[in-house]
Amino acid sequence: MSRLAIAMDIGTSGLRAQALDLSSRDIISTVITTRHPLPGANVIDHIHFALEIGLETANRIIIQAVNRIILELHINTEKVVRLAVCGNPIQLSLFQGIEIRDLAFAGKRKLESLGVVSPEREAVITATRNIPGLNLPAGCDVIIPPSVCHEIGADSLAMIIQTGMLEKDETSLATDYGTNAEMALLHQGRVFTGSTAAGPALEGQQISCGMLAVPGAVSDLNSDISCQRLIVLDSEMIPAEGPLVDMSDGSVIDAGSGVRPIGITGTGTLAIVLQAMESGLILLPCIRTMDSRLHLTGDIFFTEDDLMNAGKAIGSVRAGHITLCREAGIGLDDIRTAYMSGASGTYVDPVKAQKLGMVPPRVKTVFQVGNTSLSMARDLVFDLSKLDLMSSLADKLREHHCLFAASDTFKKVFILELSYWTEGMPISMYRKFLKKYGFPDLPPPGATPEIVHTVKRDIDDLGRMGLTIIPDIGGKVRATMEGCTACMNCVEECPENAITIIQEADSAAVTLDQSLCSGVACRRCERVCPHKCFDLSRFFCITSEELATPWE
Amino acid sequence: MKLSSSMAYGSSAEMMFGFARKPVETKQGLTIGGGYVIPEIVPHPRPGSEKTIKTLLREFERANFDALERCVMVGHPHLVVENEHVYQMTANPGWGGEIAAQSVRQTLEFKDKYGLKSAYRSTIADIRKPDMVNLRDSEPTSKVLESFNECAKYSDIISIESLGGKEISDYSLIRNDITGLLFAQAVLGGRDMEWLWSQIVKIAKKHDCIAGGDTDCAQANTAMFMAGGFLSKDIPHTLAALSRAISAGRTLVAYECGATGPGKDCAYENPVIKAITGVPISAEGKTSACAHPDLCGNVMGAVCDLWSNEAVEYNNMFGGSTSAVFAEMLGYDTAAMNSAISLGYQKEYQACLVNSDRYRGPHGFMLCPDNAWLIGKAVVDNNESMYTRARAAADKCGKLMLGDPLLRMTAFEKESLLSYMKEMQSLPDKEEDFIDLCLSKYGKVKGFKPASYGL
Amino acid sequence: MKHSPNSSRIFTRYDINIEVARPKIRDISEDKLLQKVADCVVKGDEEAIESAVKEALKTRSPLKVTNEGLIAGMKEVSRLWDEGIYFLPQVILSSDTMIAGIDLCEDKMGKAVKKKPKVVTHTAEGDIHDIGQVIVNALLNAAGFDVINLGADVPVDEVVEACKLHNPVMLTGTALMTTTMTAFPKIAEKLKELGLNIPFVCGGGAVSEEYVTSFDLGIWGKEASQAPGMAEDALNGLSWWEMRTKWNG
């Protein structure tokens, strides 16, 4: 009887998992979710939720989501003997249900006043029975890799290991282009790490028409004479030629291969910014069209606020790179090789990313390596010794981790970025300030680097049973609010359209989609309620039996 | 068609308001460009009145009557009434014809009753949308031509504001693209006008009507309005000035096809046209503030033969209807000019008009008679093709602006101008090569059809 | 044709005037020594400020050097930034230079220069992301306010104490993380209990307008660049409620 294993990446913007055959080492099936099951759009929202509603509830929601994913892998779970999960410290802690407050507050004074003791977060192999609620055989091993510190976790270790950068003797830089962009600079045997809160723009969020990488998403633009050819992800998530448009008014010149665009991904956002800057439609910080917007087709547009959000994200990555170089005592132009990981890092055109400043200017080679977190989890289930490798690397990384939020270098450079993107400060002045501060220079990009795609898409091999996408990972929960008159104010106020109300005989039933909800930092539904009877926590402090739409 | 190779005037000193080398006489005995300046009133119907021919007839009847009556009331000796077609008047050629017939009847009534000398101009609407239809072969195209036929039966003068090239010039303008403007205005616009005007001139001859002229309103005026006043920063005034210089070679095509003037009022390129052709021109400036703000309100009067208000919607003011009020103002403007002529002070008066605006902005500067003449000279000296003469005109205009230290430019406008000049230098010398370049560069702009221009 | 030698009564080139007025850094003082001090501030010359201030202090009073050199120079920086000629990093540099200069004057005088209305700024307890606050500080300094900078990760009680001590015209709070912004309503509550109805501008990262306007005293700051205008309003006696009505919603 063949033994099976599951590799899982718990990402902030969604979960991905693969079922594997341990003897043949084949990938059987792949499941991804389009959202994270917890309310909110970033890790801080997730952690905030756990703080206010309760760690146990957060843990339970994640475990339920994991169970649903396991179900959708369509394998005989009785045969599963190993589950490896990879992700950042917050996600892994929420999965394990351990202390998270040290991750919630970066300030020491606050932690001391709360009396928080940080857990070690070392590598663990435990049995399913120790993770309550997990629908796998009791004796199945659950492998949880170690973290370096609160900002750098197993996902970053995965990036450093899976790129293979450590095995080469050259100055190289690996970056995971996500909401939190983690980066690692290797120079003369030392690894310098950092993590910057780039914001969700690089994942296509906080952008008017932004979305995650799903079929129909615009992932790139190619300049075609005076117009832009939209590159749209097809049903297999492979980039295909979409319509040819004039961005100044969105007029469509030809329809291309017929894939209809529905939104813009993070990489699409970067391409829009670059192409519009190059064609003069953007003159920072303004969009120079009649309505101060760029148009990809009739209903997909890009605003000056979007430009500002994208600029801040791009800028924080570049500021991180410059900061790490200063820590290592080298120039940006000393970096020979760049590794780009994460969904954005895989789909983005490296040359465009370089022109925008997200890839060091003088690299000779760029590797696009895909989702390293999932491939790390895969390696872990096949080879448990990789866990030791991760642990020893974690120890090594603790020596040279740079906390950007406390770094004077990072702050100064980020202010230069802010000024460049939002005030239109010329790049010449940017460089003048770098010189004045004694920071590494920012030369313009050199010769086009060699591009090596180690994968064709984010997840390279989907397995013989292929890909399943779960669009509705969050539970829909129903609750009755005493005093509710079904005035619908909360339904209208909700920015994510997560609430529905059904008027029943003598009361009203309110339903919330947990994964659509913006989280406890929002609570607009509560504030708008005229009877003050709306209680957001009611949707979470219940057992799974009360789910309005149980998963089939 | 032969491209102009000589100047009608030996120098700008010979150019004067009220005097054209080739005056034009109307049926009622007005001589345009014959030694005096005539007001040209342009009333515009109120929105809603275009719904039926009946309401439209009534609207124009009132508006034109008010203007004619006011001239009598205050003693203005002459008037040209222009009616610019709203869409329906051209789309239903019969409407335009009926209104023209009614208006000419009105002018004759005023002649009979009071001896007021007046003329009527019909300006057909160019309802061919360049990005929608083939300009040479479409339903709107035949309506336009039919409309000319209907109006020429009655009107003294016929004109049009043609749209050829607008799909490319709109595209180029927001991109600050001088190459695109050259292609749109000179190559495309010029070709469309040649095709259109050879037919208009034939129609005019058939009906013994005056083929007035055209204007690059759709392109050069768009640039001018977008450049705006001193508070706008989107499009440099220097680009608008180059676009104007380019437009001269385009608008010239009407006269090369046989149009005789008077040119259209909103063709700010008209001083250049007059310098080359000697035809009488209409112009507008301060008294067209009802339609748009202007940085050349006085200088445009320096060599004009008709003085217009561009367009004013028919409405009531304290002093009467807008049509009456503006006819009165235009009449007084021209009365002052004609007094100067009569006293022999015309040179001095012209100097006043020119000095008002010469250095107010690039547009006023390049349209001063001396500069307009020099730009015209560049046009005729480079007449190998519509492209070469337009590029030469733009280049001359740029050099004149850079060469006069009294014309001050903002750093942005000067930098922009230098980059346009550099870009123009790098363009091919031959029109064929330029067309090849542009077809590959602009071939995919929405709605652009080379067949519209015989390319 | 005659050409008029002077067109000033014929037309005014407002476009050129605006541009000419812009890049020019205006002279601040007729006093050469004070002008030199102001120059250092305008140029953000942190190295030269010390000698310039010391030179001026030999013959001028610390109060005069502060007001007519340092603060006057900063006012010019503020104007240059308002008009889009100066950028943030330059304002920050100038602000640092001015503070260095003021420290020298205070040393000489032996006490704090009583200068300007105060604004207390801080980054929320538990949060160390203080870039937003750094910018707010510089801009408030530039606008002539005395910035009481409490720094980052500041406990609620410490903020309240500082308000009691300094009685500022305005308080600002910055938070990047939504987990830490919960300190803001606590601060507002305690200030109200003490009868200190100080306008409390909260902004940064995940801080939303809805959140800040859900508690008394709170005014949402969308951009750091709004801080000077808000402080100006507070100084002019606008209540937190009037300020919220003006700046939010």
What superfamily would CATH give domain C118-247? Cobalamin-binding domain (3.40.50.280)
For residue B445, the chain A residues in CB contact (below 8 A) are: 226-227, 246, 253
As a whole number of angstroms, the distance between CA A118 and CA A113 comes to: 14
Domain ranges of chain B: 15-449
DSSP A294-353: EEEETTEEE-HHHHHHHHHHHHHHHHHHHHHHHHHT--GGG--EEEEEHHHHHHS-HHHH
For residue B176, the chain A residues in CB contact (below 8 A) are: 280
User: Is the separation of the CB atoms in C197 and C217 below 8 Å?
Assistant: yes
The nearest CA of chain A is from the CA of B365 a distance in Å of 28
Residue contacts between B and C (CB atoms, under 8 Å): 37
Positions of E strands within C95-217: 118-123, 146-149, 170-174, 200-203
> Do the chains contact at C4 and B370, CB–CB below 8 Å?
no
Domain ranges of chain C: 26-109, 118-247
Instruction: Say yes or no to pLDDT of B325 above 50.
Output: yes
Q: Is A33 helix (H, G, I), strand (E, B) or coil?
A: strand
Q: Which domains does chain A have, with CATH numbers?
A: 4-150+462-470 (3.30.420.480), 209-302 (no CATH), 476-546 (3.30.70)
Query: What phi, psi does B235 have (nearest 5°)?
Result: -125, 130
**pTM listed for this prediction:** 0.71
Of B354, B357, B410, the CB nearest to C16: B410
The per-residue pLDDT for A523 is 83
> What's the pLDDT band for A547 if we cut at 50, 70, 90?
very low
Chain C: touching chains (3 or more CB pairs < 8 Å): A, B
The amino acid present at B377, given as its one-letter code, is K
Q: What are the Cα distances from residue A401, in Å, to A151, A157, A226?
A: 9, 13, 45
When comparing pLDDT for C177 and A130, which is higher?
A130
Mutate to test the interface with C, among A316, A415, A490, A522 (most CBs of C within 10 A): A415
pLDDT for C68-119, tens place per residue? 999 999 999 988 888 888 898 999 999 999 999 999 998 988 877 666 799 9
As a whole number of angstroms, the distance between CA A256 and CA A230 comes to: 9
- Long-range contacts, C58-61 (Cβ 8 Å, 24+): C59/C33, C60/C31, C60/C33, C60/C34
As a whole number of angstroms, the distance between CA A56 and CA A53 comes to: 8
List the 196-235 stretch of B: residues with Cβ below 8 A of A: 234
The nearest CA of chain C is from the CA of A34 a distance in Å of 22
Does the structural domain C26-109 have CATH classification 1.10.1240.10? yes
The nearest CA of chain A is from the CA of B347 a distance in Å of 44
User: Is the separation of the CB atoms in B249 and B186 below 8 Å?
Assistant: yes
List the 217-246 stretch of B: residues with Cβ below 8 A of C: 230-231
The per-residue pLDDT for A502 is 81
As a whole number of angstroms, the distance between CA B376 and CA B392 comes to: 10
Query: Which DSSP letter does residue A451 get?
Result: E
> Do the chains contact at B174 and A227, CB–CB below 8 Å?
no
Taking each helix axis from N to C terminus, what angle separates A386-397 and A372-382, rounded to the nearest 10 degrees?
130
* Interface check B358 vs C, CB under 8 A: yes
User: Is the separation of the CB atoms in A17 and A8 below 8 Å?
Assistant: yes
Mutate to test the interface with A, among C47, C177, C187 (most CBs of A within 10 A): C177
Mean pLDDT of B131-150: 95
Residue with tokens 């000779």: A364
Sign of the C-alpha dihedral computed for residues B59, B61, B67 and B72 taken in this order: negative
Instruction: Say yes or no to pLDDT of A540 above 90.
Output: no
Q: A33: Cβ–Cβ under 8 A, 6 or more apart, which residues?
A: A14, A15, A16, A65, A69, A469, A470, A471, A473
List the 231-290 stretch of B: residues with Cβ below 8 A of A: 234
As a whole number of angstroms, the distance between CA B390 and CA B375 comes to: 10
**Dihedral angle over CA of B122, B128, B130, B136, nearest 10:** -100
As a whole number of angstroms, the distance between CA C210 and CA C130 comes to: 22
> Do the chains contact at C11 and B351, CB–CB below 8 Å?
no
- Look up residue B359 and give its two tokens: 């250095």
Exposed/middle/buried for residue B193 (C-beta within 10 Å: 0-12, 13-18, 19+): buried
As a whole number of angstroms, the distance between CA C62 and CA C115 comes to: 12
Mean pLDDT of B274-281: 98
As a whole number of angstroms, the distance between CA B305 and CA B264 comes to: 11
Residue contacts between A and C (CB atoms, under 8 Å): 100
Instruction: Say yes or no to pLDDT of A550 above 50.
Output: no
Which strand ranges, in their side-by-side order, compose the sheet holding A476-480? Answer: A476-480, A508-513, A499-503
* Interface check B352 vs C, CB under 8 A: no
pLDDT for A267-289, tens place per residue? 999 999 999 998 888 988 999 88
Instruction: Say yes or no to pLDDT of A546 above 60.
Output: no
The nearest CA of chain B is from the CA of C61 a distance in Å of 42
As a whole number of angstroms, the distance between CA B19 and CA B72 comes to: 25
Instruction: Say yes or no to pLDDT of A53 above 70.
Output: yes
pLDDT for A92-116, tens place per residue? 999 999 998 888 887 888 888 888 8
pLDDT for A429-461, tens place per residue? 999 999 999 999 999 998 999 999 887 777 778
B19-25 vs A508-513, strand pairing mode: unpaired
Residue A354: beta bridge partners? none
For residue A104, the chain C residues in CB contact (below 8 A) are: 126, 177, 179
Instruction: Tally the residues of chain B.
Output: 455
* Interface check C9 vs B, CB under 8 A: no
Instruction: Say yes or no to pLDDT of A545 above 50.
Output: no
